Structure 1
Amino acid sequence: MTQAFAARFSFALLVPITFLTVSLTAMAARAQSPLYSPLAIPPSNEVTDTLTDKDIPTGQGGFARDYALTLNAKDQVAIDLSSESFDTIVTLMAADGSTVGENDDGPDGTTNSLLFTRITDAGRYIIRVRAFGETSGGAFKLKVTRLRPVN
């Protein structure tokens, strides 16, 4: 009789403890905010923003800010990044994190960046804005232009 009582008592304790553990885990999961959430490119396809030391650390002494946009297969885009505060680098990344294209200095001889690329796969892409070297950043302008495909 003692073993039967102990078995029922253990089971009676197991159910509430399991329920409490699952409830606390679910509440903690809901309380967490996403660690990585790129900003959306607005419908105007232009952004005026500021790169700061509160953005994503690059591991090279600088910081980066990410913007998300959806592109279609065969889209041709020009991504123009300019700043009077820092030497810009613009990177276009696919959803899997691979680099589609990158530009440090544009063709005009300045430290602004201009990237031209053709998209092969439709999907969500990330535009990463960062400063060259250990510069913390400053004000910048980002413009995405979809170019007309050549027939």
Structure 2
Amino acid sequence: MIPATLLAVGVPHLSANAQTPPLYNPIELTGSEVSDSLTDQDIPTGFGGFYRDYVVTFEAGDQVVMDLTSEEFDTIITLIAPDGSTVGENDDGPDGTTNSLLFARITQGGQYIIRVSPYAGQGLGAFTLRVSRLQPIDD
């Protein structure tokens, strides 16, 4: 039996440089509408496509509608709560197009993620995202 210390003699020292993963930096949604573009430089979905995240602050009790339209790809919109759970998701809106429309009632205030992605990870291009807070009707 050869001691392990003898096996290590003559083996060059290999150093590994750690790779720094890209920072996750969702885009702050400052207004009620943004026109943007989904590209192959966005966040990989893990199944061939890409998505883009926007962060927005909602208050408990807010009722919101999110409208995502694109002429270039079939949209999906997802609302993600501060704890990482999915509040809601929509693929095709009620107008019969491939645009997305999502309504949500916010039960917990905080920073939410609105995720823009293409259906089945297929597609890139220009899109418009609108976020509106609905006003309650006074009796």
TM superposition score normalised by structure 2: 0.81
Shift in Å, 1:150 = 4.7
1:35 maps to which residue?
Answer: 23
- Extract unaligned runs of 5+ from structure 2: 1-19
- Extract unaligned runs of 5+ from structure 1: 1-31
Structure-1 separation of matches of 2:125 and 2:22: 25
Shift in Å, 1:34 = 6.5
Pairing of 1:2-151 with structure 2 (within 5 A)? 35-43=23-31, 45-150=32-137
TM superposition score normalised by structure 1: 0.75
Percent of matched pairs sharing the same residue: 63
Deviations, residues 62-104 of structure 1 (Å, cap 9, x unaligned): 1100000000001000000000000000000012211001000
Larger % of helix: which?
1
Structure showing greater radius of gyration is 1
Q: Mark the CA change 1:134 to 1:124 in structure 2 (over 3 Å): closer, same or farther.
A: closer
Q: Which runs of 4+ in 1 moved over 3 A?
A: none
Tell me the C-alpha RMSD between the 2 structures.
1.5
Deviations, residues 95-147 of structure 1 (Å, cap 9, x unaligned): 22110010000000000000001000000000000001232310000000000
Secondary structure of the corresponding residue to residue 109 of structure 1: coil
Shift in Å, 1:148 = 1.0
Partner AA of 2:27 in structure 1 = L
